[in-house]
A and B are shown apart, each in its own frame.
Chain A
């Protein structure tokens, strides 16, 4: 099955028009010494939902910040490899430029501006678009999230679920081509998780936005994703279509609640290390 996966990836790389984002062998170092990403490789197809899964500390958030060039603020740096967006090198483009070109990150913990109102948060979503018709577009967002319209106070007082809706609505205001989502299910009740995931699906299907979805909730993520990557210790250890991964014994055992104590992927018998690309 893993061999099949490799073949699938090969096919994809030949047709580069379909690839909206390609992360090639990226290494990230914090404070000039802490190596966090150790040669990350992944591709997101245009129009698809790509899931990036992994346990705590695997480097998922760091990957998303590397793609959106937000590491400088944390004293982090891409020291090797390249990031291509729509076929062009985007490794060293500033965050403003990337947002303008259509990559938008919904940060872990939602990144809501707590001391501003819901409307102000939404307005800032469209910051990078000078031609935005703010009023009409905000109404459009409210039609997706009717509950937000009633909240007139500060965004900091919204519930976790509402804040997640706001974060997604704000991303929609940017009219991006690719949304990176960092653990949208974090801290939400199962019912809300379902709601958020169905909204992500709608963004993908109705608005045609490509999505790179980082999740710990592998079960839910694999359900809506087309392709998925599993990350451990700063690199990808397994990838394939969501279907393949859902049926993979190791994934089942390790991520989908098959029981047993937590082990590293490397120790699993049936796991074969993928060939490094380099």
Chain B
């Protein structure tokens, strides 16, 4: 057995898994606070990547300026989507809301195809991101390390935000019970807008990171689909579960690639392995590993 390769893939799995975890958190954030299942989460991510990349390549902005602008853009984008597309649907059956987010996903795919083109594009090598550093004898690209650090930072900020800030607490209160939240003077509308803003913004960051690690392309939206097993494994309404779910999926993917490459030679096993795991976990624990029991099944 090629143990070095295995270790390498495990490390990859953890790094990618953390990023999945971040996107899964964004998904859960929207589900928890607004009860919307956002099938367009992957497109949010791609949009963030494209906007930042265009600003750097086409407009020639320095990366950090472009990145800041992307954050602002994504936050506004999230609010606009919430206000224009989803607010009118408050109180409608969950299936209508799902149809709308699927529609949004398809719409964004086509629009981005049209505006940004079909090909994958790379960020200029700003960070020397292709250079390699060695962690415990394993070679890791700098970009991967950055991605890991950034994921950890985002998670820490999420924790701090929901634990200690006034708005974070208000969002949790709204997720628990909207009427109670209102009785405390919390504006539910404002909270909804904030949830979408944060979710879009952080997904956008994930998109930029993935763009730097590999390249920006419309196919990155696949992450939005991969995040499903992560979220459902973790339990649709648990933020911690989302992170754990993301890690599990990331590691599994790479493990599957290893097993496939070394023994089975089926090819492409890694893309479907997470979904098998999803099915198995749901058979054993229908509400996910961390989920509460009374959540919506779809």
Interface residues of A (CB under 8 A from B): 68, 70, 73-74, 94-96, 98-100, 104-105, 107, 111, 113-116, 120, 123-125, 127-128, 170, 174
Contacts and interface: CB of A to CB of B under 8 A. Distances in A.
Contacts of B169: 116, 120, 123-124, 127
B185 A116 contact: no
Contacts of A124: 169-170, 173, 184, 186
Given A123-B169, A124-B170, A174 B176 contact: no
7 contacts: A70-B182, A100-B185, A104-B183, A111-B180, A114-B176, A115-B176, A124-B170
Contact of A125 (B177, B178, B184): B184
Contacts of B166: 123, 127
Interface of B: 166, 169-170, 172-173, 176-180, 182-187
A113 B185 contact: no
A107 B184 CA distance: 10
B180 A73 contact: no
A99 B169 CA distance: 17
Contacts of A68: 183
Nearest to B170: A127
A96 B183 contact: no
Nearest to A123: B169
A116 B182 contact: no
B178 A127 contact: no
Given A73-B178, A127-B166, A116 B183 contact: no
A110 to B, nearest CB: 9
B186 A107 contact: no
A95 B176 contact: no
B176 A70 contact: no
A113 B173 contact: yes
Given A123-B166, A127-B166, A113 B172 contact: yes
Closest 9 interchain pairs by CB? Answer: A99-B185, A128-B185, A111-B180, A95-B182, A96-B187, A73-B179, A96-B185, A105-B183, A113-B176
B185 A107 contact: no
Contact of B183 (A70, A74, A120): A70
B173 to A, nearest CB: 5
Contacts of A127: 166, 169-170, 184-186
A95 B180 contact: no
A74 B179 CA distance: 9
B127 to A, nearest CB: 39
B185 A174 contact: yes
A73 B188 CA distance: 10
Contacts of B184: 99, 124-125, 127-128, 170, 174
Nearest to A68: B183
Nearest to A73: B179
